Amino acid sequence: MKKNRLFFIVFMIIVFSITGFSTEKNLSVSGRVKFFGSVFLTDNTGKYFNHDSGDFGLKRLETRLKIAGNLNDRISYNLRFDGFSNSGTLFTKNSFPESGILSSPVYSEYFELNLYEANIMISDFLIDNLDLTIGKQRISWGTADKIGVMDNLNPIDFANFFTFDPDYAFEKRPQTALNFEYYTGDNSKIQFIWLMQHQVSPLPYGYTLLTKQSMKVNNIEVSNNWRNNIKDSNFGIRFSTNLFNIDFGFSFYNGNISLPIIKSYMLSSIPSAEFFYGKEKIVGTDFSTSIGGASVWGEAAYIIPDDSSGLIQVPVVLNNNFIGVRNINFSLFEKGFFKYVIGGDYNFAHGFYINFQYLHGFFDEFDYSKEAEKYFMKRKGEFFGEISDYIIPDIEYKFHGDDYKIKLSGIIEISDKTSWTLTPQIELRIADGLILSAGGFFVISGDETKTKFGEFKKDKLFYLSLKIDF
């Protein structure tokens, strides 16, 4: 029913855009059609993937429809719908693949629709130099390239992270917000953001089952400690300016952690675990400038998680008789901790480009207390683990008027153990707006159990992508 309603809305918008609004000269309709297909090159029965060499990883057809327009010089609107489908057929164990009542293949074909963005922007709202954007929007903070520690207003798309589609690497999901931007001078801006929803990162398909299996628990309970009211909303404030050719930013975020954190572990007759979405405050600063022809940037964030306690419940057995349970309570996190990133890029002659970042603290990492490390076995080199360090290099070579691009990116995990991940890519611009790319995801070294990316050592894959923008 929900899906049908969405179809109806999309259909009406398209009809309106073609008929009713077509005379509106400011209306712009654009979009994308994209195919992304990946094939595993290795066998694996691992924690995250189970496949043989030659198995398809993902066969995804993606469409994007963007509608934007201006009501007048001050008011504009922006919509983006994303649709995803898979070339497979949707089988269930209990029935044949049937169609919908109008013979639409809605029940037998994979299809998902997402309202990615929908917002209205009012320039000079109430006073001069104040812009207000209301609605679902992407608000990007910080100066780092790709992975930063300041860009906390939109949750990471953790589901697409596992598709290995480079277009979605470290993608953040837009959120519904009131975004006030006040320009105080040629170079300065004060921004206040009130997020009208709590942030939750989408997790990969099957992640609940995976968590149960890896933790050897029967049940998982997920909770949050927020209330759906104004007082408990997420918000952020940022001041950015330029001094002596250096762009500076100072920001404060008060909101929830967008990823689930383990809170308790019950080792009773029916083992279970509880996860929760905690709250945090982040004080941050960032800069960017150019030194000796290179761009240089940096971000530092001091993260203060709200007081959260962890619990482990262990059965007490005496002479083979269960006599009760013992609760061990402890603080989950250290009081406050830093994450930071520093990086730079440089354009060499003849189309060579190099980009380098040093990162302390991936988006899913926290500084857990000693007790949490002990009881929940939190450590470096795992997802949702302790803070680790990474080098993120990127080398590109463009030629023939930017029509061809060869790119070699990677992530080098340099914590207690080291892992090397390489993501080579070749891109060909066949025509304006039409790009064919091929590449791979290869973890070439790293301990499979003690590094974050080493776990994907047997998940080497090759992908092909074709996209057209119109």
Report the residue from 6, 39, 68, 190 that binds other proteins according to the rule CB under 8 A: 68
Instruction: Report 246-265 residues binding other proteins (CB under 8 A).
Output: 247
The one among 63, 70, 176, 254 contacting other proteins by CB under 8 A: 70
The reply to whether 324 sits near other proteins by the rule CB under 8 A is no
Tell me how far CA of residue 464 lies from CA of 17, 397, 425, in angstroms. 33, 19, 10
* Cα 455 to Cα 446: distance, rounded to the nearest angstrom: 8
Nearer to other proteins, 315 or 433 (CB): 433
Tokens of 387: 């803070």
Binding mask 274-293 for other proteins (x = CB under 8 A): --------------xxx--x
Q: Is 181 in the site for other proteins (CB under 8 A)?
A: yes
Rounded Cα–Cα distance for residues 9 and 83 (Å): 13
Q: Which of 26, 50, 89, 218 binds other proteins (CB under 8 A)?
A: 26
> Phi, psi (5° rounding) for residue 10?
-60, -45
**Six token digits for residue 357:** 């970042």
User: Per-residue contact track with other proteins, 28 to 67, x per CB under 8 A?
Assistant: x-x-------------------------------------
| DSSP label of 28 | E
Only one residue has tokens 């302390």, namely 360
Q: Are 387 and 367 in contact (CB under 8 A)?
A: yes
CB of 169 to other proteins, least distance (A): 12
Least distance CB 374 / other proteins (angstroms): 41
Nearest distance from C-beta of residue 286 to other proteins, angstroms: 12
In the complex with other proteins, the residue whose CB is nearer, 44 or 143, is: 143
214 near other proteins, judged by CB under 8 A: no
Stretch that binds other proteins, among 156-164, 330-338, 342-350, 359-367 (CB under 8 A): 342-350
Give residue 277's identity as a one-letter amino acid code: Y
Task: Among 346, 356, 358, 383, indicate the residue that binds other proteins (CB under 8 A).
Answer: 346
d(CA 429, CA 449): 40
Binding mask 184-203 for other proteins (x = CB under 8 A): --xx-x--------------
78 lines the binding site for other proteins (CB under 8 A): yes
Which parts of 384-403 interact with other proteins (CB under 8 A)?
400-403
The mark string for 408-447 relative to other proteins (x by CB under 8 A, - otherwise) is ------------------------xx-x------------
Query: Coil, helix or strand for 321?
Result: strand
Query: Shortest approach of other proteins to residue 164 CB, angstroms?
Result: 19
* C-alpha triplet 172, 177, 178: angle, nearest 5°: 140
What number of chain residues touch other proteins (CB under 8 A)? 38
Counting Cα atoms < 13 Å in the Cβ hemisphere of 206 gives: 8
* Binding test (CB under 8 A) with other proteins, winner from 6, 37, 49, 76: 76
| Cα distance between residue 272 and residue 170, in whole Å | 31
Cα 294 to chain centroid, rounded:
28
Neighbour count for residue 401 (Cβ, 10 Å): 8
- Cα 309 to Cα 223, 276, 322, 447, distances in angstroms: 14, 11, 26, 31
Please, which residue, 210 or 468, has the CB nearer to other proteins?
468
Find all residues with CB under 8 Å of 404, minimum gap 6, and list them. Answer: 398, 426, 427, 428, 429
Contact call for residues 341 and 359 (beta carbons, < 8 A): yes
Select the residue interacting with other proteins from 131, 306, 334, 371 (CB under 8 A). Answer: 131
Task: List the one residue out of 335, 380, 377 whose CA is nearest residue 362.
Answer: 380
Q: How far is CA 294 from CA 87, 195, 268, in A?
A: 45, 35, 58
Binding site for other proteins (CB under 8 A): 26, 28, 30, 68, 70, 76, 78, 131, 138-140, 181, 183, 186-187, 189, 245, 247, 288-290, 293-295, 345-349, 400-403, 432-433, 435, 469-470
